[in-house]
Amino acid sequence: MERVHRRWGAAALAAVLAMGARRVRAEDVPIEQLRRELRDMQGQLEKLQEQIKKQQQVIDKLSAGQQKAPATAAAPPPAATAADEERLKRQVTEQVLRRMQPALAAANKTFPSQFNPAIGLILDNVFSYSEKDRGDFEFRAAELGLSASVDPFARGYAIITGSPDGFDVEEAAIVTTSLPYNLTLKGGRFFADFGRLSKFHDHDLPFVNRPIALDRFIGGESQADGVELSYLVPLPQYLTLTAGAYNKLGAENDRVSNTAPRDFSQFTYLGRAATFLNLNDANSIDLGTSYAYTPEVKVDNGASRHLAGIDLTYRYIPLSQASYRGLIWGSEFLYNQEDRPVGGFPAAEPALSLARGLGLPPAAPAVADPPASLVFKRRDAASFYSYLEARLSRRFHPGFLFDWVQDVDHVTGDTKGYSPYLTIWASEFQRFRLQYTRLDAPEGHDNQFFLQWTVILGSHVHGFRDR
C-alpha cells in the first residue's frame, strides 16, 4: 500500500516539474521568481500528497468493510442480488414512466372529448317511379344518432332526422340500466314496444317502404311520447312484459294531438308480451302480442280505441354460415276497433275535429261542414303483412312482401300490395335495394319501382330491438 502511495507522489511531482520546466523555458523568467514558484509547487505537491493519502485511507477502510461483510452478514449473496435486481427493475420502470409521462399527459388532453356520445349518421335515398305519380328522386332522410351512458344508472340516445319536411326528433329517450328485479324504465320520445317492424326506423326496414298494414293502423313508426316499463320474467323461457303510457301511438297518427295536455282517459296505454322459441340451433320463432288502448279518442265522439297485434317471426340461421345463408319469415296481424264517421272524414276534417276535441281553436280555417253533422259508428278493421327473405350470400338477400289492409272507415274495399325486392349489401354499411310493388287499391292499380341507396357513417350499434 505504501509503495502505491509513493508512486503516486512521484508521478505527480514529475508531472508538476515537467509543466514548470516547460513554462520556464517558454517564458524565460528571472531565477528568483523560479525559486518562488518552485517553493509554491512544493507546497502544492505536499497538499496533493496529503489528499491522496486521505483518499487511500478511505479506500482501504471501504475495501476492508466489504471483505468483512460476507463474514458478518448471514444473508446469502443471492438474496442481496435479487433485491438489487428488484430495485434496479423498479428504477428502470420509474425512469421509463417518467419519460413516458409527458406523452401520456399529452394523450390525456383528448380525454374530455371522449365523454362525447357515439355519433352515427344514416343517409337514405330513394328513386321511385310509379305509373300514377311518375318519377322522383327522394332524399328520404339524414338521420343523426347519438348515444351514451348518462351515469351508472341510465343511458340516453337520440335520433334526429333531417328530411325535406324539416328537422324532427324521431327519438330522444332515457333508459335505465341498473333497476332491480329485471326492470327497465324508458322515458321521453321513443318507438313504443308495439309489434315488431313498427319499432324499426325507415332505413332499417327489410324493404323500401313500411308495410301499409302498419302505416295505416299505427301511423308510421310507433313513435310515442311517454314512459314504458319492461320486465324480463325470471324464467328459463324468454318472456318479456311491457307496459306503457303515452300521449299517442304512431308518428303520423292524427287521431290525437301530441302536444296538448289531456285527461288520463285520453292517453294511450300499452301492454305487450314477447317470447322466443329456440326450436334447435338453427331454427327459432319469435312470438309477440301487443295491445294499445285509448279510453277516449277525442277526434271522434270520445269513444275508446283498441288496437291489437300479433307478430310472428321465424328464422332459419345455420350457425356455421350465419352471414351467408338463412331465411326469415316475418308476419304481423293487426286489429283495430274505434268509432269512425259514417262515410269517413271529409277532406281536411281530421285536423278540424282534432282541434275541436282538444278544445283548441282550429289550426286551419274551417273549410268543411260543421263536424257536428258527422255520425259515428263503431268500426273494426284488420290488416296483415307477411314477408319472406332469403339470405343467398353475404351480399344478396331477395325477398317478397305481401300486404293486405282493410279500410278503417269501411268506405272503400281492401288494399293489397305485392312487392318482390332484392337487397344488395356492398358492405355492412352500404346497401342498395331494388323493389317493385304492385298495388291493388280500391282507387285503382299502380305499378311502382324503387331504387334505394342507404349508407351508415360512424357509430352503428347492433341493437337487440332491430333483430
Q: Check residue 204 for interaction with other proteins (CB under 8 A).
A: no
Is residue 93 near other proteins by the rule CB under 8 A? no
86, 380, 428, 443: which one binds other proteins (CB under 8 A):
428
Binding of other proteins at residue 436 (CB under 8 A)?
Answer: no
Cα gap 171→463, rounded to integer Å? 15
The percent helix, strand, coil of the chain (3-state, each to 5) is 30, 40, 30
Instruction: Please report how close the Cβ of residue 285 comes to other proteins at its closest, in angstroms.
Output: 11
Place of cell 349518421: 121
Q: Does 262 bind other proteins (CB under 8 A)?
A: no
- Tell me the residue type at 326: G
Q: 44 or 393: whose CB is closer to other proteins?
A: 393
- Count interface residues toward other proteins (CB under 8 A): 38
Sign of CA dihedral 358, 359, 364, 368: positive
- The least CB distance from residue 132 to other proteins, in Å, is 38
Concatenate the DSSP letters of all residues of 229-273 into one string.
EEEE-SSSS-EEEEEEEES-S-TT-TTS-SSS---GGGSEEEEEE
Report the relative pairing of strands 183-191 and 444-458 from DSSP bridges: unpaired
CB under 8 A: which stretch of 33-41, 80-88, 93-101, 388-396 binds other proteins?
Answer: 388-396
Amino acid present at 427: S
Whole-number minimum distance, CB 411 to other proteins, in Å?
Answer: 41
Contact flag: residue 182 with other proteins (CB under 8 A): yes
Q: Which of 269, 276, 335, 402 binds other proteins (CB under 8 A)?
A: 276
Binding of other proteins by 110 (CB under 8 A): no
Asked whether position 284 contacts other proteins by CB under 8 A, the answer is yes
User: CA distances (Å), 329 to each of 324, 390, 401, 421, 425, in order?
Assistant: 17, 9, 10, 14, 19
Candidate residues 110, 237, 259, 280; the one interacting with other proteins per rule CB under 8 A: 237
177's CB contacts (< 8 A; 6+ apart) are 149, 152, 153, 154, 155, 184
Angle made by CA atoms 419, 424, 430, in degrees to the nearest 5: 120
> According to the binding rule CB under 8 A, does residue 459 interact with other proteins?
no
Q: How far is the CB of 276 from other proteins (least distance, A)?
A: 4
**Could you tell me how far CA 424 lies from the centroid of its own chain?**
24
Q: Closer to other proteins at the Cβ: 79 or 185?
A: 185
Residue 132, SS3 per DSSP: coil
C-alpha to C-alpha distance for 311 and 384, rounded to whole angstroms: 10
Q: Is 464 in the site for other proteins (CB under 8 A)?
A: yes
366 binds other proteins (CB under 8 A): no
Q: Which is nearer to other proteins, 184 or 301 (CB)?
A: 184
427 binds other proteins (CB under 8 A): yes
Site residues for other proteins, window 321-350 (CB under 8 A)? 321-324
Other Cβ atoms closer than 10 A to 428: 11
Find the shortest distance in angstroms from Cβ 318 to other proteins. 9
Among 51, 91, 177, 265, binds other proteins (CB under 8 A): 177
Which residue among 262, 356, 377, 394 contacts other proteins (CB under 8 A)?
394
Which C-beta is closer to other proteins: that of 21 or that of 392?
A: 392
How far apart are the C-alpha atoms of 25 and 27, rounded to whole Å?
6
Cα–Cα nearest to 171, from 228, 93, 229? 228
Max distance between CA atoms of the chain, in angstroms, equals: 142
Q: Does 185 bind other proteins (CB under 8 A)?
A: no
CB 394, min distance to other proteins, A: 5
d(CA 404, CA 384): 5
Per CB under 8 A, does 467 bind other proteins? yes
Q: By CB under 8 A, is residue 429 in contact with other proteins?
A: yes
C-beta closer to other proteins: residue 143 or 215? 143
The reply to whether 278 sits near other proteins by the rule CB under 8 A is yes
User: Considering beta carbons, is residue 395 or 410 the nearer one to other proteins?
Assistant: 395
Cell of 215: 302505416
Rounded Cα gap, residues 440 and 453, in angstroms: 26
Using DSSP's 3-state secondary structure scheme, residue 13 falls into helix
Least gap, CB of 127 to other proteins (angstroms): 24
Write each residue from 306 to 325 as x if it is in contact with other proteins (CB under 8 A), else as -, in one continuous string: ---------x-x-xxxxxx-
Cβ-contact 381, 408 below 8 angstroms: yes
What is the binding site for other proteins (CB under 8 A)? 177-179, 182-184, 232, 234-238, 275-276, 278, 281, 284, 286, 315, 317, 319-324, 393-395, 427-429, 457, 461-464, 467
